[in-house]
């Protein structure tokens, strides 16, 4: 047994369902856990997470919700473990790449961000990961240097990430520039324009438009067969009926950003604060949109994973 295999056995635990599916070459979709602990209140967070898993199964794949439980990197949680994360909420550490060694050593719990979920998915051998929106370059990053670790992870870790674009609280233009510099392909599913999370339009273009899950799978398979490092980003627009008015959501975001600055909130607390405040200002319309775009992304992720497995 190699050192890497011993390390995986020591730190990584897969559910029986996920391990059996991977061994049999069946499609598996990774799912993050910050949406459970930091994304919305209990019990709505748990109900949403369980519905997400149901949608993955409905579309022919096995869900693998990812988290750190008791210092173990987990791929595949039980409903009771999802409920546990949901009940604890923000008491659970929001875990990115830098946090994983500390959580493992201290045998603590962590809800995984996009970056940490990608790492654990790759360790488990899961190629497709569906989420809501990725992190990116924050507004004002030219002075704060506030850039999400998600972007660096996309450049390094071989996982296809399906999302509704970068969160619209970010500087979308600089986020795309960063991804281009790192050589990360940005693919628009059925669109030439980068979706902006709550809305279908951003004013920025994607690298390539792709119209079928099968072609998305073929492009990712080609990247892997060529030995390229890093991953790939699929941007899937929020369904039209749940898309919010761009002028209205931009106004709300500006208000939330101003309040964030006034309160001195920074670092990993920025995004949860902004999303919660936006939901509050919009009377939870933004939260409803957030949930629906996640449902849309996990369905597409399952279809891509099925095409890869086929």
Active site residues: 32, 167
Determine the straight-line distance between the first and last CA of the chain, rounded to whole angstroms.
Answer: 30
Report the candidate in 303, 290, 296, 265 with the shortest Cα–Cα distance to residue 35. Answer: 290
Q: Are strands 186-189 and 232-235 parallel, antiparallel or unpaired?
A: parallel
How many whole angstroms separate alpha carbon 310 and alpha carbon 307?
5
Cis peptide before 199 (omega within 30 of 0): no
Q: Are 83 and 36 in contact (CB under 8 A)?
A: no
Q: Which residues contact 209 (CB under 8 A, 6 or more apart)?
A: 187, 188, 190, 191, 192
3-state SS, residue 247? helix
- Give the Cα-Cα-Cα angle 108, 101, 130 (nearest 5 degrees): 80
């Amino acid at each position: 047994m190699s050192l890497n295999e011993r390390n995986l056995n020591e730190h990584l635990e897969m559910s029986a369902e996920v391990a059996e599916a991977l061994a049999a070459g069946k499609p598996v979709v990774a799912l993050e856990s910050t949406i459970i602990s930091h994304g919305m209140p209990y019990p709505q967070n748990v109900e949403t997470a369980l519905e997400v898993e149901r949608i993955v199964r409905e579309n022919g794949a096995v869900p693998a919700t990812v988290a750190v439980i008791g210092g173990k990197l987990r791929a595949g949680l039980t409903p009771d473990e999802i409920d546990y994360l949901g009940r604890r909420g923000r008491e659970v550490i929001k875990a990115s790449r830098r946090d994983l060694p500390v959580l493992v050593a201290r045998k603590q719990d962590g809800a995984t961000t996009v970056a940490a979920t990608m790492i654990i998915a790759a360790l488990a051998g899961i190629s497709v990961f569906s989420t809501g929106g990725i992190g990116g370059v924050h507004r004002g990053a030219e002075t704060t240097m506030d850039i999400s670790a998600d972007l660096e992870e996309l450049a390094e870790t071989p996982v296809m990430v399906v999302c509704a674009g970068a969160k619209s609280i970010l500087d979308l233009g600089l986020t795309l520039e960063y991804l281009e510099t790192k050589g990360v392909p940005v693919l628009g599913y059925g669109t030439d324009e980068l979706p902006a999370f709550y809305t279908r339009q951003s004013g920025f273009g994607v690298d390539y438009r792709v119209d079928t899950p099968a072609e998305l799978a073929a492009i990712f398979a080609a990247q892997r067969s060529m030995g390229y490092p890093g991953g790939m980003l699929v941007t899937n627009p929020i369904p039209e009926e749940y898309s919010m008015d761009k002028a209205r959501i931009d106004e709300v975001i500006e208000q939330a950003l101003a309040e964030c600055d006034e309160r001195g909130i920074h670092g990993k607390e920025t995004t949860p604060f902004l999303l919660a405040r936006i939901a509050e200002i919009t009377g939870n319309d933004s939260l409803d949109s957030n949930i629906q775009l996640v449902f849309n992304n996990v369905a597409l992720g399952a279809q891509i994973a099925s095409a890869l497995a086929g």
